[in-house]
Amino acid sequence: MSIELEGLDKLLKKLESVADEQTVNQALGKACALVERSAKQKAPKGTGELRRSITSKVENGEGVIFTPLHYAPYTEYG
């Protein structure tokens, strides 16, 4: 899965002047938590393994929502 954001460089420059790294990481953490919750709600119930495996992390100003399960892309994309 790939997402492309236009104007991200401009936004990041503005954020650097307004907020410090800790504040940005906290905001990213909250945003990732929302996306993670939505992904878990949309995942099929089945055994619940896929839902439990969906997680997120924020490192170096970058948020990532992921699952280590090998079959997750097949479930998402069919």
User: For 39-63, what is each residue's pLDDT tens digit?
Assistant: 999 999 889 999 999 999 998 889 9
Q: Is the pLDDT of residue 6 over 90?
A: no
Q: Which residues pair with 76 in a beta bridge?
A: none
Q: What is the mean pLDDT of the chain?
A: 88
pTM comes to 0.69
- Residue 54 CB neighbours (<10 A): 21
